[in-house]
Structure 1
Amino acid sequence: MPKKSLEELLIPLLPLPEQQKIAEILSTVDKAIEKVDEAIAKTERLKKGLMQELLTKGIGHKEFKDTEIGRIPKEWEVVRLGDVLELCQYGLSVPLKDKGKYPVIRMDEIVNGYVVTDIAKYADLDEETFKNFKLEKGDVLFNRTNSLELVGRTGIFLLDGYYVFASYLIRLRPKHEILHPHFLTFYLIFSQSRLKQLATVAVHQANINATNLKKFKIPLPPLPEQQKIAEILSTVDKKLELERKRKEKLERIKKGLMNDLLTGRRRVRVKANE
């Protein structure tokens, strides 16, 4: 904003004691948000440490071996991702609409390792096409085309309802008898730097195609151990989700207070001796 416009800007001028009271109220909310931010950061550090420990050392192992993907428990195997998938499929390439029959999951709906319901686009599909691209619980979605920073973003689909997925995502459906979908999701998130080595990079875009992704090597613990690792990390994720929702609630409270108090729409009482 130009200096002249800023100087001419009209603002409400409340009595000084009322200004001070409003500042105190908003500062109290700010401090609460800061505390939640600290809790989120602490839990994120915990998760990062647990992922490093559990996805490379497992649970309770004493013997380890060196492999092409690093040191892992002796009991674990190293496999190509494609060998433990039932399905590795590109998404739909169809016109998207603001309204339609089926909601379409895009990269923006993959948040913190999960597919969320902030659906903005839809597609009208015939029954056969819908069947071929309908997401099932436990499907893992992988962002194959984006900036180098965002390519490889991964999330597990756990939603109720009828959804399909967009063309720049790859659907990974594990063979459930040998690979747990949550374990796969956590491992792909953990392995982002190694995954990005698979990317071909053009101007402003990076791509990891399905052929290269299927060649990606992952560790394969026994299924019960995969399940246990997934349970531990999912518990931390639930804690993080609660903390993030608490922060969102506080931010809504702050926004509402600012709208009310800084416009004079809602006045605060100030004692005579304040």
Structure 2
Amino acid sequence: MSEQGWARKKIGQLLVRHFAGAWGEDPGYVGAANVVVLRSTNLDDSGGLTLSTGAPRRFTPKELTSKRLVDSDILLEASGGGPGKPVGRVALFQGDGSSEYACSNFFRALRVDGSLVNPKFLATKLQWLYRQSSIWRYQQQTTGIINLRFGDYLDQEIELPPLDQQRRIAEILDVADEQIQSIDHLVSKLRLICIGIVSDALNEIEQTAESTALLSEVADISSGVTLGSEPAGDGSIEVPYLRVANVQDGYIDTSEVKAIRIFRSQMERFRLEAGDVLLTEGGDFDKLGRGAVWDARIPECICQNHIFRVRCDRQVLLPEYLAAYASSPRGRAYFLSIAKQTTNLATINSTQLKSMPLPLPSLERQQKLIDAVEACSGRIQAELKVADRLRLLKQGLIDDLLTGRVRVPL
């Protein structure tokens, strides 16, 4: 027992079973059960697990018996990491009743002994260890892929409070999760309301718009710098640039901005200006034409070639109106209709973007739509800030409860 009266146990001693995930057969495979396979993309760094974007596969009854996930299984990411991205993320599985679930072969599923440990507590503890970087010593790299030395991982000793305290800690964390989820659901509803506002306004605009124009007639469209060999010497400069990951749906994420060297003479061509609308060239279907208005928060910034820079003629077209139209169901439908598509990927080129038909109401009507969108977006951003604060508070709470700095009342 530790000084706090907590027991020390190896992780492996707390399990009744563990098993590697499996990918299953192609969705068209006949004679097997439909299963949703959870992948690394379903897992986030905070321990969240998204079920809705799992991959549909088919498993034989025998496979499903051995690989089926049940509620309170713990998913441990054991393979597939890359440079600077260790494996070891953890999430607690709770099914939604709509499907059978399994996990990909990048995971290990841990089934706990409920007489020794509370599953929620253990999942939180293991995710806390990941966040503390204490499992880096169990990483090994083979051919560019990082794997977890699973046996050594299971031999780790962790401190556990008595089971009744574990349950109480899990209950406290559940309350925090419910508050965060409540805000997330509200944000989802607000986004739907915002889409509805834009759709209704565009319906009216298309029926009564004074004119329609091709985008190339009311805006200048270009691409950013091509990544690859970078110049050196006195004629070159290093500048920040935006990648596809920075251009999100409705906002620009500058939490991580990289730099690139270009010729000084290229700066005038590629420099971004406040009011430029940035749209992504493609990738996954959700990235096609995704974009937002740049606010010049970073001076002397450029973008990469997989992002289109659209500079509007503001005498007839407001940037925010174009961004709202591009992200609307109408704009997305246009992009999908003209995109070159492969399995799960789609791209558009500048010629297709230039040919996008755009209803052009008066600037006053454009501004009215912009004001409605900004009012809804402002409420969304306010709720997201509350959720971020709650997540920070939860992390502090986890640190206190899992180390015993704060004891829970029973």
Q: Same fold (TM over 0.5)?
A: yes
Q: What SS does the corresponding residue of 2:288 show, helix, strand or coil?
A: coil
- Structure 2: give runs of 5+ residues left out of the alignment: 1-17, 20-109, 111-149, 231-236
Query: In the alignment, is the contact (CA less than 8 A) between 1:21 and 1:268 conserved in 2?
Result: no
Query: In the alignment, is the contact (CA less than 8 A) between 1:101 and 1:122 conserved in 2?
Result: yes
Q: Distance in 2 between matches of 1:147 and 1:27?
A: 33
Matched letter for residue 44 of structure 1 = R
Residue 318 of structure 2 corresponds to 180
Matched, 1:78 2:212: yes
Change over 3 Å in CA distance of 1:7–1:135 after alignment to 2 = closer
Matched letter for residue 210 of structure 2 = W
Deviation at 1:250, TM superposition (A): 1.5
Deviation at 1:124, TM superposition (A): 1.9
Deviation at 1:154, TM superposition (A): 1.6
Residue 95 of structure 1 corresponds to 228
Q: Distance in 2 between matches of 1:217 and 1:133?
A: 25
Matched, 1:120 2:257: yes
Matched, 1:249 2:389: yes
Aligned residue pairs total 254
Q: Distance in 2 between matches of 1:13 and 1:204?
A: 44
Which structure carries more relative contact order (alpha carbon 8 Å, separation 6+)?
1
Residue 399 of structure 2 corresponds to 259
Residue 100 of structure 2 corresponds to none
Deviation at 1:106, TM superposition (A): 1.1
The CA RMSD measured in Å over matched residues stands at: 2.4
Query: In the alignment, is the contact (CA less than 8 A) between 1:105 and 1:119 conserved in 2?
Result: no
Of Structure 1 and Structure 2, the greater helix share is in 1
Matched, 1:13 2:160: yes
Query: In the alignment, is the contact (CA less than 8 A) between 1:115 and 1:159 conserved in 2?
Result: no
Deviation at 1:193, TM superposition (A): 2.0
Query: In the alignment, is the contact (CA less than 8 A) between 2:247 and 2:292 conserved in 1?
Result: yes
Query: In the alignment, is the contact (CA less than 8 A) between 1:144 and 1:208 conserved in 2?
Result: yes
Q: How does 1:1-274 map to 2 (within 5 A)?
A: 2=19, 10-58=157-205, 72-85=206-219, 87-95=220-228, 101-160=238-297, 161-190=299-328, 191-202=331-342, 205-264=345-404, 266-270=405-409, 274=410
Matched letter for residue 52 of structure 1 = S
Query: In the alignment, is the contact (CA less than 8 A) between 1:102 and 1:122 conserved in 2?
Result: yes
Percent identity of equivalent pairs: 26
Query: In the alignment, is the contact (CA less than 8 A) between 2:249 and 2:327 conserved in 1?
Result: no
Change over 3 Å in CA distance of 1:13–1:75 after alignment to 2 = closer
Q: What SS does the corresponding residue of 2:338 show, helix, strand or coil?
A: coil
Change over 3 Å in CA distance of 1:219–1:255 after alignment to 2 = same
Matched letter for residue 407 of structure 2 = V
Query: In the alignment, is the contact (CA less than 8 A) between 2:169 and 2:408 conserved in 1?
Result: no
